[in-house]
Amino acid sequence: MSSTTNSPTHHTSTIGAIGAPSRRNTELALLVFAVVIPVFAYANVGLAINDEVPAGLLSYGIGLGLLAGIGHLVVRKFAPYADPLLLPLATLLNGLGLVAIWRLDQSKLLQSLPNYVTAAPRQLLYTALGIAMFVVVLIFLKDHRALQRYTYISMFVALVLLLLPLVPGLGADVFGAKIWIRVPGLGSVQPGEFAKIVLAVFFAGYLMVKRDALALASRRFMGLYLPRGRDLGPILVVWAISILILVFETDLGTSLLFFGMFVIMLYVATERTSWIVFGLLMSAVGAVGVASFEPHIQTRVQAWLDPMREYMLSRNGSNDGILHSEQAMQALWAFGSGGTLGTGWGQGHSELIRFAANSDFILATFGEELGLAGVMAILLIYALIVERGVRTALAARDPFGKLLAVGLSGAFALQVFVVAGGVMGLIPLTGMTMPFLAYGGSSVLANWALIGILMRISDTARRPAPAPAPNPDAEMTQVVRP
Amino acid sequence: MNKPLRRIAVFCGLLILTLLIRDNWLQYVKANSLKDDPKNRRVLIARYATPRGDIIVGGNPITGYTETKGDFKYKRTYKDGAMWAPVTGFVSQAYGANQLESINDGILSGTDDRLFFRNTLDMITGKEKEGGNVVTTLNAAAQKAAYNGLKKQGGKGAVAAIEPTTGKILALASFPSYDPSTIAGGSTSDEEAWAKLQKKTNPDDPMLNRALREVYPPGSTFKVVTAAAALENGLYTEADQKTKTPLPWTMPGTTTVLKNEGNIPCENATLRVALQYSCNTVFGKVGSDLGNEKMLEEAKKFGFTEEQFTPIRTSASVFSEDMNPSETALSSIGQFNTAATPLQMAMVASAVANDGTLMKPYMVDEVQTHNLDPLEKTDPEELSKPLSAENAQILQSMMETVVEDGTGKNAQIDGVKVGGKTGTAQHGVDNSENPYAWFISYAKADDGSSPVAVAVVIEDEKAVRDDISGGGLAAPIAKSVMEAVINSKK
């Protein structure tokens, strides 16, 4: 907050004079593309697989268009100055994800798998619920600072969400990772996806209050500002919880995501590089420490180092009592077989990945059928979402908003990195899903809520400053110098 | 707070950049090696995605295809699969391919670069992509005679027949055989059939291509090679010249007397008589007189010690080095370490019949696109010249005597001049296992050229240890194969 001032008159009038355009028409134009591109992709899949335009094309197009339209109208009404890119980008990813899920539904191999359910209609329902969630956030969250009031409730809720999969009878073990819970009547829920948002709210509220203490009360040692022992408390607690997740839920990705998000927010709040150093050291110690005794994590690491060996073990059977999976190698083959331009929609064989082909591994389908070009485009769309999020943080006028926006964007970026990196064999595989692309209700709902919150913050940030209030609160009138 | 925010923005950008770099590595740098990885199922899916081209004998395909369920669209079918298995080999959705199916897989599956133009044309004209054809040199009638002859005999055995003037393989039969159609798919029944064909579970080893991949001691049929060595090295110059062979003959360096089978006129017998009656003493002594080196040299000229690529690889036939004179003597009558594939012995007969010139044996005449445009034609090629034409004709007259008056009378064909040699080889510890009955022969056309040379081997307990079994069991099969070739030329 070095570039803020407590004498608002001059700067507020400047912002008011700019009269930031709402950019709602830009958003509408982009949304047309975000709907039309998946509709063409859908037609493409149908032509490639069944030699005909799929019967559901019109209803699919109208459905997606309607959902995007509702989202847009709500934004126009309730968040007119929100960032114009976020909604179209999320819609495009969501739409393409639906097409890929529908395409995998057509695979006879996947249909023959036990427990396989036709996923596309459900995903369409989840999408509708996701947009509803987005709408609810925009309508009822009039000001993101309201969330600040729930700082400690958020902490409690986040802990409950994170620990739910460990409750006996509720948690479900899917391929070794225990990050799911089964809710009767609802199916499987991944509470970690929601915990991501709630935890960001808690961190933002907590750090906003404590940041001065954390930033200033420190000693200088070897060029680094060392925090005081008692200030180390919170980071140690979060670290301990991450380690607990890693040990008991055996999921590297979730653990990395939460700890990474905390370190990012801590760094932004305190502007102290030393926190990054501490964070990296602690995550390294934690990951290596747990990996040294947890067989599931070890298997994942081995599968990452030598996917071919893992594939052979899965094929020929092994007697080490560990469930081996050929997915990692199959995903690499899918990417390789796609090459530069891909096979085209519907013409690849990514269904060979079998289990989780349409959720955790969905990027491999894009890799094979749209090729290097397609995957790079999708990664750049993710990059745009993240950068729009950070841009929102930069523009936000209050520290809570800044912290929340950067926390959510950072978590989003980390999730994309961890999942895409895992599927592409850059890092060990984890059990998380590609935001918006992958099949899964929790993921779609939580990410639409995330986009909703980011748009709320950006709307607040870009909205022309209100006329000088008779009794302005110092906190409320802080602005960022352009 | 904005400085760290900008840094976080850069950090997030770096995360995505790392992913982009990894993606380029995976989908550009490593793309081809991942794509063509034989373990990548897409390779197999592509192989079975198009109707496979045919293997053709005498203008008729001996193969076909049928659609299957699952991700492999087509599977191979075979007509008279068991009869043709030594030629075609198999191609299986579960077990890969071998022999012609494997060697010419690119053509048959349509992925060969030479088919690029055709495939592109088909794509433009909207036709389904199809594999090309492999046209073989085989003669359906001869193959049928060979396989049915072996089947009637019932024991294990093999037949190889060659056209001496060109080296074209006319028949290649092995018994017991298997029908590759039964293992072409990937279903449970294919798995069961495959398991039943494995040597572990089936001691008859039906998937062994005995005509090319099994070496048998050639027994007395090897005496033709020994006779050729005697003539080529000038040890004897005529068929009717008396040899210096005492009876009984004790092998040099030993006290062992080399025995003949029965009471036959072998003392100082001429080469013609010695071949007619199959005198061990005469040819044993020729071998030891010439020595290991000269015998080996002549055997090599006939193709011994080398693998042949027809294009299916054969086993290398054996004639040892560094043997003492008694071992050389035994080797020269086709015992001791000497061993030959049936194709090798057919090559011996063929070289003699072709006036001393050995042609390289081959079985793929032409590869072509599915609409019969030729892509590559095989031209006959000379492999070596084991004998001069003059000596070859001397040897021919000796072999013809064997069929006219000797042990090979069962191979006589009315109105056709036939030369041949019988053999019975002992094997196993103390000769405990079934002996092999051999017959090699050739037929001659009126103009003196030879349309066919053939070798037959049968493992049979009925074969007693004299040459009559070679003439009795193997010669009739050789005769029917030669007749089939001659009749198909008319």
Task: Express each pLDDT in B258-293 by its tens digit.
Answer: 888 777 888 888 999 999 888 889 999 999 999 999
- Looking at per-residue confidence, does A89 or B445 come out higher? A89
Q: Give which of B196, B174, B216, B198 is closest to B88, Cα–Cα.
A: B174
Please report whether residue B7 resides in a domain.
no
Would you call B1 and A402 a contact, using CB atoms and an 8 Å cutoff? yes
pLDDT at site A3: 44
For B55, list phi and psi in degrees, rounded to 5.
-100, 130
Minimum distance, in Å, between the CA of residue A426 and any CA atom of chain B? 7
Across the range B441-458, mean pLDDT stands at 90
Joined tokens for residue A419:
């999942």
Q: Residue B353 is inside which H or E element, if any? A: helix B342-353
Residue B433 has pLDDT above 80, yes or no: no
Length of chain A measured in residues: 482
Q: Which of B6, B16, B37 to mutate to test the interface with A (most CBs of A within 10 A)?
A: B16
* B159 token code pair: 């037949």
Contact A335 B23 (CB under 8 A): yes
Q: 31-90 in B: which are within 8 Å (CB) of A? A: 31-35, 37, 39-42, 45, 70-71
Residues B317/B341, Cβ–Cβ less than 8 Å: yes
Which CATH number covers residue B472? 3.40.710.10
pLDDT score, position A2: 44
Whole-number Å distance between alpha carbons of A114 and B300: 62
Of A250 and B164, the structure prediction assigns the larger pLDDT to: B164
Examine residue B161 and state whether it is found in any structural domain, yes or no.
Answer: no
What are residue B239's phi and psi, to 5 degrees?
-70, -30
Q: Which of A393, A436, A410 is nearest to A83 (CA)?
A: A393
- Where does the pLDDT of residue A224 fall: very low under 50, low under 70, confident under 90, or very high at 90 and above? low
> How far is B385 from B382, CA to CA, in rounded Å?
8
From residue A167, give the alpha-carbon distance in Å to each of A161, A163, A285. Answer: 11, 7, 27
B375, B108 Cβ separation under 8 angstroms: no
Q: And the tokens for B171?
A: 């028949």
Per-chain mean pLDDT for chain A: 85
Give the residue from B1, B25, B45, B68 with the most A CB atoms within 10 Å of its CB, the best one to mutate. Answer: B1
| Triad B320, B166, B133: Cα angle to 5° | 105
pLDDT value, residue B467 = 47
Q: Calculate how close chain B gets to A141, using CA atoms only, in Å.
A: 24
Q: In chain B, which residues have their Cβ closer than 8 Å to the Cβ of A308?
A: 39
Alpha helices in A55-172 (DSSP H): 57-78, 86-105, 108-111, 120-140, 151-163
Rounded to an integer, the average pLDDT of B155-164 is 92
Give the mean model confidence (pLDDT) for residues B154-174: 92
Q: Could you read off the pLDDT of B329-384 as tens digits, one per residue? A: 999 988 888 999 999 999 999 999 999 999 999 999 999 988 888 898 999 999 99
State the Cα–Cα distance between residues B68 and B1, nearest whole angstrom: 65
Residue B462 confidence (pLDDT): 57
CA distances from A7 to A13, A394, A395 (A): 12, 20, 18
When mean pLDDT is compared across A364-378, B168-182, B252-266, the lowest value belongs to B252-266
CB–CB of A402/A268 below 8 Å? yes
- pLDDT reported for residue A396: 93
Q: Rounded to a whole number, what is the distance in Å from the CA of B124 to chain A's nearest CA?
A: 17
Tokens of B426: 């002992």
Q: Which residue in chain B is spatially nearest to A350 when comparing CA positions?
A: B42
Instruction: Give how far Cα A394 sits from Cα of A7, A265, B5, Å.
Output: 20, 13, 7
Distance CA B370, CA B358 (A): 33
- Provide mean pLDDT across the span A318-339: 85
Interstrand relation of A187-189 and A177-183 (parallel, antiparallel or unpaired): antiparallel
Rounded to whole angstroms, how far apart are CA atoms A324 and A242?
A: 25
The answer as to whether B220 is a domain residue is yes
Angstrom distances, CA of residue A215 to CA of A161, A225, A274, B60:
30, 9, 10, 88
* Contact between residue A335 and residue A406 where contact means Cβ atoms under 8 Å apart: no
The answer to whether B346 and B160 have CB atoms below 8 angstroms apart is: yes
Say yes or no for a CB contact (<8 Å) between A386 and B16.
Answer: yes
Are the beta carbons of A387 and B13 closer than 8 angstroms? yes
The residue among A229 and B301 whose pLDDT is bigger is B301
Q: Which is more confident, B38 or A223?
A: B38
Query: How far is residue B241's CA from residue B238's CA, in Å, rounded to a whole number?
Result: 5
Which residues contact residue B131 at a Cβ distance below 8 angstroms, ignoring those fewer than 6 apart? B50, B51, B52, B53, B107, B108, B109, B110, B115, B370
Give pTM, 2 decimals.
0.72
Q: Is residue A174 scored above 70 in pLDDT?
A: no
User: Which residues contact residue B448 at a Cβ distance below 8 angstroms, ignoring those fewer than 6 apart?
Assistant: none
Q: What does the alpha-carbon distance between residue A267 and residue B352 come to, in Å, rounded to a whole number?
A: 92
The vertex-A174 CA angle with A172 and A178, nearest 5°, equals 55
User: Does B252 fall in a domain?
Assistant: yes
Which of B2, B28, B45 faces A480 most closely, judged by CB atoms?
Answer: B2
Interchain contact, A336 vs B30, CB within 8 Å: yes
| B12/A393 CB distance under 8 A | no
Partner residue facing A383 (CB), from B7, B13, B28? B13
ipTM of the complex: 0.89
Distance, CA of B89 to chain centre = 12
Whole-number Å distance between alpha carbons of B165 and A427: 65
Highest mean pLDDT among A89-93, B175-179, B244-248: A89-93
Of B427 and B153, the structure prediction assigns the larger pLDDT to: B153
Is the pLDDT reported for residue B465 higher than 80? no
- Asked, for residue B409, whether it belongs to a domain, the answer is yes
B2·A340 Cβ contact <8 A: no
Q: Which of A248, A249, A141 is nearest to A201 (CA)?
A: A141
Q: Is residue B96 part of a domain?
A: no
Q: Tell me the residue range of the domain where B358 lies.
A: 212-364+382-489
In this predicted model, what pLDDT tens digit does every residue of A114-157 receive, in sequence order?
778 888 889 999 999 999 999 999 999 999 999 999 988 998 89
In a domain, B78, yes or no: no
Amino acid (one-letter) located at A403: L
Catalytic residue status for B220: yes
Residues listed for chain B:
490
Interface contact B126, partner A, CB < 8 A: no
* Short-list B218, B283, B232, B221, CA closest to B407: B221
**Is pLDDT above 50 for A12?**
no
Pick the residue of A337, A400, A454 with the most B CBs within 10 A to test the interface with B by mutation.
A337
C-alpha span between B272 and B290 (Å, rounded) = 18
* B306 contacts B300 by C-beta, under 8 angstroms: yes
CA angle, A255 then A259 then A262, to 5°: 150
Angle between helices A252-270 and A232-244 (to 10 degrees): 170
Residue B69 is assigned to a structural domain of this protein: no
Which element (helix H / strand E) includes A472?
none
Cα–Cα dist A409/B229, whole Å: 89
Q: How many domains does chain B have?
A: 1
Nearest to B455 by CA among B489, B482, B428: B482
Q: What per-residue confidence (pLDDT) applies to A8?
A: 43
Alpha carbons B64 and A381: distance in angstroms, whole number: 50
Q: From the candidates B220, B326, B331, B332, give the one annotated as an active-site residue.
A: B220
> What are the pLDDT digits (tens) for A230-259?
767 766 787 788 788 777 777 778 888 888
Evaluate whether B341 touches B314 at the Cβ level (below 8 Å).
Answer: yes
| Contact of A367 with A334, CB cutoff 8 Å | yes
The three-class DSSP label of residue A381 is helix
A352 CB neighbours in chain B (<8 A) are 41-42
